[in-house]
């Protein structure tokens, strides 16, 4: 294996645990986890139990697969290859995937990590693995919603910083909690005590021709047709830089797929498990968007009423 | 309970086991099963274990649910109420659902009964029930395809009659068998020995503005939005009167949903399990349709070639 030219002391001094990782193993506290170099690259150590080499094989196949349309490729992190690096836990050299750091341009991104599918296992897996997945799937919203939130961080502003609930709290999310998170994600007043957040960013983040909903629909159209890949236990991230939105910049909302250790060949069949979950997520997003449109129409009607008039139109 | 005026000897003499039932319990051989009156009505005895009363409750709710659009109602058998009738197994009076007999206008219909969903169980069911379903789901194409064929009959013509494989054979169908059935369903030369049936009826049965594909897409659009009903273990029938097609009549292809003993409230979430399976079935149907279009274009090109010309266009 060729050692990358970056393999030197100055390069290592730039590497650090990602600031905005919301799920998975963390490199902080001397554990094994991914690293970023601050210049747009994300280094993910190959996972054990064959999962890492499967994920590498997926990236290699996928990045040269000419059947994947260009407009679909943007939903996947750019793959730059693999590289031997000192592992973050000090265990020595370890092969890392070199990927695009998808939040590298963001200052304070809000991110939701959604594990898609009503089933995180696949028939070829061992009975023990299936049993473990089934139990977790039934405990979370995976079976009921066709997806579960695996992690999140919502930026609330300079003073309160991020709301980033712990793994246990996220795993215990109910359907109502998920609905609430999807609303708070696009609200200016998203602090935890607020039971009715304003969803004021829904039109610009979820809506619009470049918004989350349009991107999800684009991805859905591909999943209705593609029969090459089945994405088991894969995560879909939705994210935007809340900091720049709060400062009045035009928001850039993004949808990205990550975690491909359990991608299998589709063998001519669509990934109905992923597609079903994706459609369920789409419904949640479009529900928040329609509610926000309705409430803004109501607010406009209220503001258009002449002053000092009663509801029946008689002015006093 | 009021006894229906039809409850009399002459009415009973008209009742018989349906000729074209392809799955479920059969009333023939003195067993408990549905009956038809030959005038367009189908009498389904309420199943035991509470399933029958749940199905009756579904039909009662659904038939008066104003949220269900008219163009969706056509996918469900018309519900006429319930009626006490002598059970087909001679066990005495038993409450029956009175439904539209969906094949009453057909002479020799070809029918495929597809059980939709990659999961036939629901989280609220007992552990034993879930275990039983899981085993059957994994043994059939339910998990891999998101649906399985539960029964079928394909009319092949006057001489060979119907191909109607037994329950065990149908349950052992592989993905390839399913693909083959979907092709044979719309072929004029569908006899079992033929490995490459012509799919000559695909454009008129699967295709066209009133064909199976358009109907499935119409149903899909509803499932992407409706959050009222979750259809567990429900069957989707696709059917047409092959007899009339063979005679040159304009074919009427139909999609119908049946078996609602396990319909649960959607509680604001789409039925991603049904939708995923439906999308998978749609892909199978559209694949057969595109292949048949491609092969008919090729055939046209072949027939347009001048005689005695070689492939490079030089006439001999």
Distance from the Cα of A245 to chain B's closest Cα (Å) equals 30
Looking at residue A305, what is its pLDDT?
Answer: 61
Q: Is B126 exposed, middle or buried, given 0-12, 13-18 or 19+ CB atoms closer than 10 A?
A: exposed
B118 contacts in A (CB within 8 Å)? 118-119, 272-273, 276
Looking at residue A102, what is its pLDDT?
Answer: 95
Using CB atoms, which residue from A145, A224, A280 is nearest to B279? A224
Which range, of A282-291, A307-316, B8-17, averages the lowest pLDDT? A307-316
Structure tokens at B20: 């074209």
Interchain contact A144–B (C-beta under 8 A): yes
Q: Is A94 exposed, middle or buried, given 0-12, 13-18 or 19+ CB atoms closer than 10 A?
A: middle
Give residues 43 to 62 of B whose Cβ lies within 8 Å of A. Answer: none
Look over chain A and give the mean of its residue pLDDT values, rounded to a whole number: 89
Banded model confidence at residue A316, pLDDT cuts 50, 70, 90: very low
pTM of the model: 0.91
- The distance from CA A144 to its chain's CA centroid, rounded to whole angstroms, is 19
Distance from the Cα of A53 to chain B's closest Cα (Å) equals 24
Query: Could you give the CA distance from residue B149 to residue A207 in angstroms, rounded to a whole number?
Result: 40
B272 contacts in A (CB within 8 Å)? 118, 145-146, 276-277, 279-280
A275 contacts in B (CB within 8 Å)? 275-276, 279
Using CB atoms, which residue from A123, A144, A279 is nearest to B275? A279
Per-residue DSSP letter, A108: S
- The arithmetic mean of pLDDT across residues A98-126, rounded, is 92
Distance from the Cα of A276 to chain B's closest Cα (Å) equals 4
Interchain contact A264–B (C-beta under 8 A): no
Residue A190 has pLDDT above 90, yes or no: no
- Reference B238, options B185, B180, B316; nearest CA is B185
Query: Could you give the CA distance from residue B9 to residue A315 in angstroms, rounded to a whole number?
Result: 74
- The string of pLDDT tens digits covering residues B39-59 is 999 999 999 889 999 999 999
Query: Could you give the CA distance from residue A235 to residue A248 in angstroms, rounded to a whole number?
Result: 30
Cβ within 8 Å of residue B43, ≥6 positions away: B15, B34, B35, B36, B37, B83, B85, B96, B97, B98, B99
Query: Could you give the CA distance from residue A254 to residue A285 in angstroms, rounded to a whole number?
Result: 14
Which range, of A67-71, A289-293, B187-191, averages the lowest pLDDT? B187-191
Looking at residue A8, what is its pLDDT?
Answer: 61
- CA-based nearest residue in chain A for residue B221: A279
- Compute the residue count for chain A: 316
Which of B136, B213, B272 to substitute to test the interface with A, most A CBs within 10 Å? Answer: B272
Residue ranges of chain B whose pLDDT lies below 70? 1-9, 192, 305-316
This model of the complex carries an ipTM of 0.89
Looking at residue A299, what is its pLDDT?
Answer: 75
Interchain contact B124–A (C-beta under 8 A): no
Q: Which residue has the higher pLDDT, A15 or A56?
A: A56
Contact B269 A282 (CB under 8 A): no
Banded model confidence at residue A243, pLDDT cuts 50, 70, 90: confident
Q: Which residue has the higher pLDDT, A236 or B134?
A: A236
Distance from the Cα of B42 to chain A's closest Cα (Å) equals 33
Each as own residue / partner, the long-range contacts of residues B183-187 (CB below 8 Å, 24 or more positions apart, any chain) are B183/B288, B184/B154, B185/B110, B185/B112, B185/B152, B185/B154, B185/B238, B186/B288, B186/B292
Looking at residue B305, what is its pLDDT?
Answer: 61
Looking at residue B8, what is its pLDDT?
Answer: 61
Burial string for B192-226 (b: 16+ CB within 10 Å, else e) reads eeeeebbbbbbebbbbeeebbbebbeebbeebbeb
Looking at residue A313, what is its pLDDT?
Answer: 41
Interchain contact B279–A (C-beta under 8 A): yes
Interchain contact B17–A (C-beta under 8 A): no
Query: Could you give the CA distance from residue A122 to residue A129 in angstroms, rounded to a whole number?
Result: 9
- Reference A105, options A203, A44, A26, A36; nearest CA is A36
């Amino acid at each position: 294996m060729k050692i990358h030219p970056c393999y030197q002391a100055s390069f290592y001094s730039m590497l650090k645990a990602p600031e905005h990782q919301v799920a998975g193993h963390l490199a902080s506290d001397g554990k094994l986890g991914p690293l970023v170099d601050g210049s747009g690259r994300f280094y993910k150590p190959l996972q054990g139990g064959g999962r890492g080499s499967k994920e590498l094989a997926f990236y290699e196949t996928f990045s040269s697969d000419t059947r994947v349309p260009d407009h679909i490729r943007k939903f996947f992190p750019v793959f730059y290859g693999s590289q031997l690096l000192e592992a973050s836990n000090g265990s020595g050299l370890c092969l890392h995937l070199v990927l695009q750091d998808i939040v590298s341009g963001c200052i304070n991104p809000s991110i939701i990590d959604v594990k898609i599918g009503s089933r995180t296992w696949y028939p070829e897996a061992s009975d023990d693995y299936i049993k473990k997945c089934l139990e977790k799937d039934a405990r979370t919203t995976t079976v009921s919603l066709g997806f579960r939130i695996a992690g999140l961080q919502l930026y609330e502003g300079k003073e309160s910083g991020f709301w980033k609930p712990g793994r246990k709290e996220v795993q215990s999310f109910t359907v109502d909690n998920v609905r609430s998170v999807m609303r708070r994600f696009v609200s200016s007043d998203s602090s935890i005590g607020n039971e009715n957040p304003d969803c004021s960013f829904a039109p610009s983040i979820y809506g619009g021709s470049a918004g989350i909903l349009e991107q999800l629909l684009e991805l859905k159209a591909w999943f209705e047709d593609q029969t090459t890949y089945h994405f088991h236990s894969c995560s879909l991230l939705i994210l935007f830089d809340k900091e720049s939105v709060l400062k009045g910049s035009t928001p850039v909302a993004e949808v990205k797929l990550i975690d491909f250790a359990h991608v299998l060949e589709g063998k001519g069949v669509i990934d109905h498990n992923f597609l079903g979950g994706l459609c369920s997520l789409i419904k949640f997003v479009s529900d928040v968007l329609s509610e926000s449109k309705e409430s803004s129409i109501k607010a406009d009607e209220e503001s258009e009423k002449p002053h000092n008039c009663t509801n029946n139109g008689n002015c006093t």
